[in-house]
Chain A
């Protein structure tokens, strides 16, 4: 079966750091994506991890531990425009299907 869990909502302050966690139990694994989705818009790619460790890209970093079935997205120097939903998605073995978590709605306050 497929099970991907993320917190439903988080609130953080402008300029701060926030970590969004994602745990997964899936029958296959071929990598994990993080997408950002603003209300009413398409999801946009943030990061992809297939090996254990931290991938850094500007203000955003993503971490993966395959043995623990765990990933997190780290957002630094938060800006108001970072208010959005953040979607964790696991790729199946064949690499052709994404299974999404429910998404974490992040609100950045001044």
Chain B
């Protein structure tokens, strides 16, 4: 059973370009979460999605960031017009459900560098 897959593992963009990060949850998991980790800091929740629905996006910046989890295919985190401050590791996690003890399994992360 493959774990959470993320690609690319490393992404370099110039200021103003778009970054598109992909996440395929574990088999059987329908809940996807995105977190951002700045250097030397903890993970910060961004968004929680189920298939075709955004459930909680309270951690998402209001502009330039969007996320989707279509019926078919991976979840996508999209950052438009990237700035240097967007440089971070972006982790995706998935779980089979929510509530007590529903562990979130993390992918290897995408390290975004904005030049």
Binding site for B on A (CB under 8 A): 30-31, 33, 35, 41-45, 48, 50, 87, 89, 94-103
Contact of A30 among B33, B35, B44, B99 (CB under 8 A): B99
B103 touches A45 (CB 8 A): yes
Q: Which of chain B's residues have a CB closer than 8 A to the CB of A42?
A: 4, 91, 106-109
A48 to B102, CA, bound (A): 9
A41 to B99, CA, bound (A): 26
A87 touches B43 (CB 8 A): yes
Contact of B56 among A33, A35, A96, A103 (CB under 8 A): A96
Q: How many chain B residues have a CB neighbour from A under 8 Å? A: 27
B104 touches A98 (CB 8 A): yes
A96 touches B31 (CB 8 A): yes
Q: Which of chain A's residues have a CB closer than 8 A to the CB of B43?
A: 43, 87, 89, 98, 100
B42 touches A50 (CB 8 A): no
A101 to B45, CA, bound (A): 11
Chain B residue nearest to A45 in the complex (CB): B103
B41 touches A102 (CB 8 A): yes
Q: Which of chain B's residues have a CB closer than 8 A to the CB of A94?
A: 56, 98
A48 touches B98 (CB 8 A): no
Can you list 8 contacts pairing A with B, beta carbon distance less than 8 Å?
A42-B91, A42-B109, A43-B106, A87-B42, A87-B43, A97-B33, A98-B104, A100-B45
Q: Mark B24-49, 1 if CB is under 8 A from A, else 0.
A: 00000001010100000111110010
